[in-house]
Amino acid sequence: MNKLIGLFLLILLSSCQRANLPNTDLKSTNSALAQESAEKTIRQLVTLYHPNNVYIGATAGHKNWGSPIESILNKEFSYITPKNDFKQTRIHPRPGKWNWKVSDQWIEKAKQNNQIVRLHGPISPQSSKWVKEDHRTSAELEQILIEFMTALSKRYNNEPVVKWMDVVNETIDEQGNWFGPVKGTSEWENPWTILGFETNIPAQFPLLQKKGVPLYIIKAFELSNKYAPNISQVLNQHRMTSPKSIAMVKELVMYLRYRGLKVDGLGWQAHIKSELPAFMSKGSGALKTFDNVIKWAHQNDLDFHVTENNLHYPKYKKQDPAIYLAFVNIVKTLLNNKSTGVVTWNLWNINDQPQFEDKRKLILGLWTDKLQAKPVYDQIKAVLVEE
């Protein structure tokens, strides 16, 4: 009997030690669970341990076809986001020109590899240059929007592998203002606010009463609702780390629903830049804010998507392994909310790459630029087993 009690206490102590592992050392991950998951891929672990409500994915572009990056994508992830290949810039690159070849091939690849797809083809700043020309009138832009969203929605609505679609993207800046146009076509801008604003807003939406609601957002959801009813529809937002931006996003979602529009999910483009130290620290204000947004989404019957996660880091600065705790903490926070609704995590770049705007910086993934798995890859797998 004493031996049994002793064995029970030993097991209990071991469990407590696992639960209280320090979160600042990637190498301190529970060795037993890490050993258990060592021979399995991320997609295998998700299937085994999280068959409901959890989707772990990654992004690649058609330029990666036939490369080791595509091999990693197919081996490790059952959920994929074709990088820019469903955006207007590729599908409708100039007036009268449509190109569906690449996007259609992505659908076929997903079928072959037993993967599900999030269509990243929103009405967004990533529009074709000819759309952003300064002479465009609101009537012209509305017609362009109608043509693209209608065509995209109709083409893929009946594809079973297409589970989600981003309807709009990057609508609100960090100050809680609508992101709009600038002169020329070379800058990052959003031309669609030229369509105008809905200003007859009920008092229950005080922030929107002051600022109005861009008509392009309403129109985009009207079209996607009508022509892609089989696809879960996502409002994808690039900045949700300040109280002002979060408050605006929440009001926008609820206002669209007030108008009778279907909004199924809220997406956060988690390009972690200056916020990196905050996401490295378990229990930080940034992580609590993130957790609260997920909870708000689930309380309002919204799936929650981390749609574009990577870490921005100086290229020539020595990397502290602890920076990768940002990935770990984000995934842990998502998994902690899986019982109340759908949560998804999408790694925006599989391997380290130069930041497209500033070559002095890198955007970091789970694999090195030489496609060697980093220690954080095993840490993510261990988290999938533990949580």
Range in 8-12, 42-46, 320-324 with the lowest mean pLDDT: 8-12
pLDDT tops 50 at residue 307:
yes
CA distances from 121 to 84, 88, 216, 347, 357 (A): 7, 7, 15, 17, 21
Evaluate whether residue 9 is within a structural domain: no
Number of domain units in the chain = 1
pLDDT tops 70 at residue 34:
no
Q: In whole angstroms, what is the distance from residue 292 CA to residue 250 CA?
A: 12
Q: In whole angstroms, what is the distance from residue 145 CA to residue 167 CA?
A: 11
Evaluate whether residue 1 is within a structural domain: no
CATH, residue 77: 3.20.20.80
> Given this model, what pLDDT does residue 35 score?
67
What average pLDDT does the structure give for the chain?
Answer: 91
> Given this model, what pLDDT does residue 11 score?
33
pLDDT digit string (tens) for 40-85? Answer: 999 999 999 999 999 999 999 999 999 999 999 999 999 999 999 9
> Given this model, what pLDDT does residue 14 score?
36
Evaluate whether residue 187 is within a structural domain: yes
Evaluate whether residue 214 is within a structural domain: yes
Evaluate whether residue 126 is within a structural domain: yes
pLDDT digit string (tens) for 126-143? Answer: 899 999 999 999 999 999
Evaluate whether residue 33 is within a structural domain: yes
Domain containing residue 64: 27-386
- Measured torsion, CA atoms of residues 302, 270, 59, 318, in degrees rounded to the nearest 10: -160
Picking from 192, 108, 221, 196, the residue whose alpha carbon sits closest to that of residue 156 is 108
pLDDT digit string (tens) for 230-288? Answer: 999 999 998 787 899 999 999 999 999 999 999 999 999 999 999 999 999 988 999 99
> Given this model, what pLDDT does residue 41 score?
97
What percent of the chain has pLDDT above 70?
91
> Given this model, what pLDDT does residue 21 score?
36
> Given this model, what pLDDT does residue 24 score?
44
Q: pLDDT category, 19, cuts 50, 70, 90?
A: very low
Q: pLDDT category, 8, cuts 50, 70, 90?
A: very low
pLDDT tops 60 at residue 177:
yes
Q: How many CA atoms lie within 13 A of 192 on its CB side?
A: 29
Q: In whole angstroms, what is the distance from residue 309 CA to residue 290 CA?
A: 13
Higher pLDDT, 197 or 126: 197
Evaluate whether residue 13 is within a structural domain: no
Residue type, 183: K
pLDDT tops 70 at residue 28:
no
Evaluate whether residue 3 is within a structural domain: no
Q: In whole angstroms, what is the distance from residue 223 CA to residue 194 CA?
A: 18
